[in-house]
Amino acid sequence: MARRIPALALLASVLVLSGCVHESPFTGDSGYFFQAMGRDSEIVLTADTSRVKEEMPSMLATGSSVMDELFDRSTRVSIAFYKDVYGGEAEYPADLADFDYYGGLEGNYGSFTINTALAWSSQFHKEKVDGVKYYTDDGHTIELAVPESGLLLFASRDYVEAYRRTVEERFVLIPDDTARTIASSLFGIYVRSPQTMIDLGFDLPYSVIVKMSDAILYVNAGEDGGYVLNADITMQSEDLARTLLQLLRQQVLAELRRQGVRPDYQALSQQYLSEGRLVMIRDFPLSEEQMNGLSSQITSISGGII
């Protein structure tokens, strides 16, 4: 019997030796891979790894040579987090380590190369369900495969369902305009009918979170070298939108007073504004502490998934 090679060492070696260049199948008119994510209450995170590697390299520094190699070959990572049953206010803010997930790394991943490495790995074995092949470890903590070159698909459980939803029978859930907005950022978050949310530094009460119809939050580099957060939050009614807007502005004013800074009310009105049920946050400067918090969450997620 042929000696089976440890998974990580084999995967690293075939990635290094692989000479073919592959691109994500989700380009141009095919839309973005993550558009098939975003069922009710799912927290969808997507990051432009090409830009993140240049502007925020520490975010993808996982400490694993194999993971670093995987991210070096990526152009985008997208992950959807979900639970079968949510625990209400007790689970807010969300600890995504307690969630199930599925997602994909897009980039230079050959289906034959990666799937062969997994097939010969001592840490993975092949499964086939309803004609769909994938690989899982002995503890069934991760299920993954490259269904077509350019996409490494993974799931904490039910790879087959993830494959059907995002590849075989994909149905677009995130509208094109929303997807383009998120995709143009360093990284972004999308959630529809949320039951919880990660800590974004706004101290929003749980009662506000569950009254959102949907929300997108996205981060970009600011003109001064820092980072800014933008958000479009659609509430369930115009009254709720006005309440949220007032809450956000009050929080900013309270923080400015705490710092002894005179508020610029005109600037504040342009940074926090509403239109019908939509509340918008524009170019909110993230403190170093806030950015480090978001970055550490993404780093722990990306390094711990695969």
pLDDT at 199: 83
> What is the model's pTM?
0.90
pLDDT over 70 at 265, yes or no: yes
Q: Which residues pair with 220 in a beta bridge?
A: 228
DSSP 59-83: GG--S-HHHHHHHHTEEEEEEEEE-
pLDDT digits (tens, 9 = 90+) for 152-206: 999 999 999 999 999 999 999 999 999 999 999 999 999 999 999 988 778 899 9
Q: What percent of the chain has pLDDT over 90?
A: 58
130: left (phi over 0), alpha (psi -120 to 50) or beta: left
Q: What percent of the chain has pLDDT over 70?
A: 87
pLDDT at 1: 35
More reliable by pLDDT, 291 or 98:
98
pLDDT at 293: 73
Mean pLDDT on 96-119: 90
Q: Give the span between the Cα atoms of 51 and 39, in whole angstroms.
A: 27
pLDDT digits (tens, 9 = 90+) for 276-287: 999 999 998 887
Reading the block at residue 61, the tokens are: 């520094």
Q: Please, are residues 71 and 97 in contact by the beta-carbon 8 Å criterion?
A: no
Question: With the CA atoms of 101, 106, 111 and 115 taken in that order, what torsion angle do they form, in degrees rounded to the nearest 10?
Answer: -40
Mean pLDDT on 92-119: 90
Q: Give the span between the Cα atoms of 35 and 21, in whole angstroms.
A: 24
Q: Give the confidence band of 3 by pLDDT, cuts at 50, 70, 90.
A: very low
pLDDT digits (tens, 9 = 90+) for 227-264: 999 999 999 999 999 999 999 999 989 888 888 999 89
Q: Please, are residues 251 and 203 in contact by the beta-carbon 8 Å criterion?
A: yes
pLDDT digits (tens, 9 = 90+) for 16-41: 545 578 899 998 677 899 999 999 99
pLDDT at 140: 83
